[in-house]
Chain A
Amino acid sequence: MISYTIRRLLMLIPVLIGMSLITFSIIHLIPGNPAQTILGEQATPQQIEQLEEQLGLNEPYFVQYADYMMGLLQGDLGTSLRTNGAISAEIWPFLAATIELTLFAMVFAIIVGVNAGIISAWKQNSIFDYTAMIIALVGVSMPIFWLGLMEQWIFAQNLGWFPAFGRGNPRDPVETVTHFYLIDTLISGRPDQFVTTLRHLVLPGIALGTIPMAIIARMTRSSMLEVLRSDYIRTVEAKGINSLSVVYRHGFKNAVIPVLTVVGLQTGALLGGAILTETIFSWPGIGRYVYDAISNRDYPVIQTGILVVAFMFVMINLLVDLLYSYIDPRIKY
């Protein structure tokens, strides 16, 4: 198990180098000069030239890449062209914000999705089953931005139950330590802020979690149906153990592997793909950090942002793989 883990970790290196080379090449192929983008339409050619020189954009492509990789090896993630700040220092708050939102969304997706899937399978062809599966189908096909705007309109503007934007009350900023607000508010002993943070998570969390929720529900249902038809379940039922406990305790454990795969993939996808949700709900996360960098041609930030997201994606897959063999010892490598 340990050697497997180490082998998997070593495999990350070529993956990340390949990834960095691809991102680096692609963003240099995009037409449009970053200096021009940064300075806007009122820039003079002299200003543009000066900025290019300063940013090192006159250097040949490979020199720029080599500089970047050398820095990376020394733990330097580069400097943002736009803000002049060190990316390593800048990126963490955004990453933490996205992780917090993603985890909340996944907790929502898993709790609702798994339970809905299990119950649908247990009561196959019942009203509940049909309703849940229709909701799941709608959930998968619903555009996130539409769902987000509807949530805001109903729950923020009309009902006033939940806030429409941000991570907390801007008038009462959270004292940041880890940049995970739920944790930070507890550290600073502010239960009121903890609740505020939680309330801010609800709408974007649901918007982001709806698609994975639907996918998980459908996956759980089909996986459970298969398990419920197997012999050992029939044996357990024959022993007279009540059925809900059979479904949860004996059935789900064996149906969980495909669900876990889906959960892993979805978490990875959410980490990188939360841009729409983050934009609609003004969530200062990594998706928006990279998006803003793209619209400003902030090369180093785009590269680093994508690398970090790729890294997390790979790590989550690794975690899922390791979990497989933990849950089902028959899976060996």
Chain B
Amino acid sequence: MKKGKWLVSVLALTTLLAACGGDDSEPANGGTNDGATNNEPANNEEPANGENGEAAAEEPAGDMAADQSLIFARGGDSVSLDYASVTDGESSRVTQQIYESLLFFADDSFELEPGLATEWDVSEDGLTYTFTLREGVSFHDGTPFNADAVKLNFERWADPNHEYNFADEGYAYSVYGTQFGGFAGDEGHVIEEINAVSDYEVEFVLNQQLGSFLQNMGMSYFAMTSPAAFEEFGATINENPVGTGPFKFVSWSRNDSIVLEKNEDYWQEGLPKLDQVIFQVIPDNSARLTALRSGEIDLMDGLNPDDIAAIEGEAGLAMFERTTNNIGYLGFNMDKEPFDNQQVRQALNHAIDKETLITTLYAGLAEPAKNIIPPGYLGYNDQVDEYAYDPDRAMELLEEAGLGDGFELDLWTMPVARPYMPDPERAAEVMQANLADIGVTANIVSMEWATYLEQTEAGEQDVFMLGWSGTNGDPDYFFGNLLTQDAIPGGNRTFYRSDEFDALVDQAKVSIDEEERADLYEQAQAIMHEDAPMVPLVHSRPVLAGSDRIADYVPHPSTSEPLTDVYLTE
């Protein structure tokens, strides 16, 4: 009897613990309400219950759950909540809820819609943009949103000497530099000046045309922070975000969770529907799925393609698919032999079996690519004839190029999964087999991620895998960064040099006539197709998994979307 005492106590303790919090492991309904009613409200639940009734009454659906708090689980934490100073998607996913930009993108595309600006007007010469601002909008700290706020925000990013630029504290607004041709005082900087015409009218004067100017205005990087908050928080603004968005910032415990609560004074009547949004870090993909299955979280990003089949039939779970907005490609280093030979490049284009790649590695959630911009983009050239999978044709071309006996190459593959390439190593193996079929021996090379990026930029590779994701829905973001000579060294890792191609892209970049731009990009794609600096592999469609109680959630191609309309059903 006595010898079993420890065992009994341990078992008893375990059972007790399991039993005690039984209700807490219930998904949404348990913990919070208990916390709020028993004691001091933990943070923000108390007003929520009252509001819910009203909101539910307004909703025709009428099946809103009582607890409107949503946990969105992801693999990594945000870097900063000062959105313009960082480039990672996990940061913008959160700031997207707190901050708003002058223009919004449509729910599932990059089509522009009114945001904090209700109207916009472009002068004939394309050099002056006037925005009419929405009246009656206030920041979370209660201060009004107006033209001065817009001016201050833009000047802050543009001018490293601005008192709120915080360059000394290590902030850099690199995306601003990329999108607007540099910073105040730089030669290429396109924004000449910003004028607050009246309280609710702001004017941007450019010194040269910029085709993607309006698209930039919709990017999450260029959203509005409360000027009063800069004054109050200074350089710690990255931990104290104050915007006009549907949700207010509550707390952030690093590497763990970010808690947001409903903005009761949001300018869109009756929105948002959720009372609380929590961004929870769960680094391990399988653990995240377990948490979803056990009901501890509501929505998760970063699903293993292998798990998709299992989830599809599972009760209580739902899948949410993003529209495609990326390209995964196999690039040739055109500075090296034999990849300087067009026939060789075309041959290898014929050698890769994209369909097999998609079935084995993407669980079907991708489409074969023939251009570098995803279909649906302005100027997508559908007339381009895809290089069909045709090993015989490939061998013919190699024969013509004098490489009929085959040759050997190093196939570089990245060490990390990317949205456009969920399992790079296996993808490399599939392509290695494809190449072997036409007598080409591929040695797979992999190295650490930062080194990989550096070395490919320096041109050490023969053939390499990489990809690109769009951020503003503008084709220039793909063409300009991946294939023009200006991007060497940089995003152009194929070392593709075509003056003709560059001329078209440059012309399209500064044009503000949509039709003209589309036409120019179509021509550029035709040229690129002939030159074949790369094998465009796939446009993938990333998926998220979540509870089937989530309603009105539309994942945006930019990988971060406002959760304004989302709600939970019973």
* Contact residues in A for B20 (Cβ distance below 8 Å): 195, 199
Contact A44 B490 (CB under 8 A): yes
Which of A20-28, A151-159, A221-229, A319-327 interfaces with chain B? Answer: A151-159
State the CA gap A132–B287 with chains docked (Å).
Answer: 30
Q: Which 6 A-B pairs have the closest CB atoms?
A: A32-B450, A161-B18, A172-B35, A284-B256, A47-B174, A37-B450
* Contact residues in B for A202 (Cβ distance below 8 Å): 14, 17
* Contact residues in A for B256 (Cβ distance below 8 Å): 166-167, 170, 282, 284
Is the interface on chain B under 10, 10 to 19, 20 to 34, or 35 or more residues?
A: 35 or more
Q: Indicate if B259 sits at the interface (CB-CB under 8 A).
A: yes
Contact A284 B450 (CB under 8 A): no
State the CA gap A164–B167 with chains docked (Å).
Answer: 41
B240 nearest CB across to chain A (Å): 12
Given contacts A41-B466, A112-B10, A164-B287, contact A36 B24 (CB under 8 A): no
Given contacts A199-B17, A282-B284, contact A37 B172 (CB under 8 A): no
Question: What 0/1 readout, one digit per residue, does chain B (455-494) give for beta carbons within 8 Å of chain A?
Answer: 0010000000011110100000000010000010111000
Residues 136 to 195 of chain A near chain B (Cβ within 8 Å): 148-149, 152-153, 156-157, 160-167, 169-173, 175-176, 188-190, 192-193, 195
Q: Indicate if A289 sits at the interface (CB-CB under 8 A).
A: yes
* Contact residues in A for B418 (Cβ distance below 8 Å): 41
Which of B290-298, B380-388, B535-543 interfaces with chain A? Answer: B290-298
Which of A8-16, A78-86, A254-262, A309-317 interfaces with chain B? Answer: A78-86
Contact A199 B87 (CB under 8 A): no
Contact A282 B21 (CB under 8 A): no
* Contact residues in A for B28 (Cβ distance below 8 Å): 171
Given contacts A90-B254, A170-B259, A282-B282, contact A32 B454 (CB under 8 A): yes
Q: Interface size on A (CB < 8 Å)?
A: 76
Q: How many A-B residue pairs have CB under 8 A?
A: 219
Q: List 25 A-B contacts (CB under 8 A).
A: A32-B451, A37-B449, A40-B88, A42-B468, A42-B491, A44-B490, A44-B491, A45-B490, A46-B174, A50-B172, A54-B170, A82-B79, A84-B170, A94-B255, A119-B3, A157-B294, A162-B25, A170-B71, A170-B256, A192-B21, A193-B35, A195-B20, A199-B24, A202-B14, A282-B284
State the CA gap A123–B481 with chains docked (Å).
Answer: 73
Question: What 0/1 readout, one digit per residue, does chain B (6-18) give for beta carbons within 8 Å of chain A?
Answer: 1000100010011
Contact B453 A41 (CB under 8 A): yes
A184 nearest CB across to chain B (Å): 12
Question: What 0/1 readout, one digit per residue, does chain B (518-558) give for beta carbons within 8 Å of chain A?
Answer: 00000000000000000000000000000000000000000
Seen from chain B, the residues whose Cβ lies within 8 Å of a Cβ on chain A are 2-3, 6, 10, 14, 17-18, 20-21, 24-25, 28, 31-32, 34-36, 38-40, 42-43, 45, 69, 71, 76-77, 79-80, 87-88, 167, 169-172, 174, 177-178, 235, 238-239, 251, 253-257, 259, 276, 278, 280-284, 286-288, 290-291, 293-294, 296, 418, 447-451, 453-454, 457, 466-469, 471, 481, 487, 489-491
Seen from chain A, the residues whose Cβ lies within 8 Å of a Cβ on chain B are 30-34, 36-37, 39-47, 50-51, 54-55, 79, 81-85, 90, 93-94, 111-112, 115, 119, 123, 128, 148-149, 152-153, 156-157, 160-167, 169-173, 175-176, 188-190, 192-193, 195-196, 198-199, 202, 244, 279-282, 284, 288-289, 292, 297
Contact A36 B6 (CB under 8 A): no
State the CA gap A115–B2 with chains docked (Å).
Answer: 12
Contact B17 A198 (CB under 8 A): yes
Contact B35 A192 (CB under 8 A): yes
- Say which residue of B77, B169, B178 sits within 8 Å of A47 (CB atoms): B178
B161 nearest CB across to chain A (Å): 15
* Contact residues in B for A170 (Cβ distance below 8 Å): 71, 256-257, 259, 278, 280
A326 nearest CB across to chain B (Å): 25
Contact A166 B280 (CB under 8 A): yes
* Contact residues in A for B42 (Cβ distance below 8 Å): 172-173, 175
Supplied contacts A31-B448, A198-B17, 5 more A-B pairs, CB within 8 Å? A41-B467, A46-B177, A171-B28, A171-B35, A280-B287
State the CA gap A192–B490 with chains docked (Å).
Answer: 54
B13 nearest CB across to chain A (Å): 9
- Say which residue of A44, A93, A115, A175 sits within 8 Å of B6 (CB atoms): A115
State the CA gap A163–B280 with chains docked (Å).
Answer: 14
